[in-house]
Structure 1
């Protein structure tokens, strides 16, 4: 019961409702894994990025356009997972505001264990970003390694959103 209360509190604290974030939730890999499982009734788009990654920054406006289009759909959710350092949290917050990121943003403070958690998310992932994972009913259904076009993002969502 205590664990459920902790999970629900973290979930409510880190959830954003169609508004720009004024804070960013800092999580470890295990928290991210739980968060992915909490959304198992949805098509979940999880994008890994960084403010210092040029292809990541380039694709984010497309992600926000597509997210705006589907954000009212009850079976859809997008989470942006920043791999910036915890010391750069203020830069991430500024970036969220300046780029008008409306999807939920998590700051993954677990860089030291990347070699442990990356293969757990996707065996084919070599650690480069951007990377986008798609989950449906809690099961990973698609892995996109590298920059993703707006057309490919939307096509993958349409094909899997029922």
Structure 2
């Protein structure tokens, strides 16, 4: 039964990235993880030092109250549109740092070894965390009521404003969205 569930989860993940299919269905397969994996904990990988957080630990990143504009991008290495747009978020991180813009890349990967390899190869400079919480049904709507669970997805917030995007960006689209957000 576990093998069927795992196969179903892999199929859903493969076909849902960047589509309208709700990735919330993946939660059913991930709920089969052991109780040990569900325990709230923070760990750090040895090779990249990326924080591994459950949603309770991560949620503070969605509500920082300071003078910055926060751009929070949800992505995964297995999502081609996500990987394609990562350089655009890296560019925003550099180009807008003097405008108090902070970029956070939130990986939803399942395989820490693959993620570490990807991060080491690509030398991303934006702040990064791995959100490892199998109960997506409980937290996806806390990120945004508009979010179906598909990735890539991005939240921009700050100075009393919040905007959610469930789409992949071109560099031009991302800059326009951020400029519009800043100038609202």
Report if TM-score (shorter chain) is over 0.5.
yes
Q: Secondary structure at the match of 1:123?
A: coil
Q: CA deviation at 1:90?
A: 2.2
1:125 aligns with 2:150: no
Instruction: Please list the CA deviations of residues 28-85 of structure 1 after superposition, one character each: whole Å capped at 9, or x if unmatched.
Output: 1122211232354311000000000011011111111221111243x21000000011
Greater gyration radius: 2
Aligned to 1:83: 108
Aligned to 2:124: 101
Higher RCO (CA-CA < 8 Å; seq separation 6+): 1
Q: TM-score, normalised by structure 1?
A: 0.77
Number of aligned residue pairs: give it.
Answer: 140
Aligned with residue 86 of structure 2, among 52, 60, 70: 60
Contact 1:136 1:160 in 2 (8 A): no
CA distance in 1, matches of 2:51, 2:135: 19
Q: CA deviation at 1:161?
A: 3.1
Aligned to 1:18: none
1:160 aligns with 2:181: yes
* Structure 1 gaps, min length 5: 1-9, 15-20
CA distance in 1, matches of 2:106, 2:65: 15
Q: Secondary structure at the match of 1:38?
A: coil
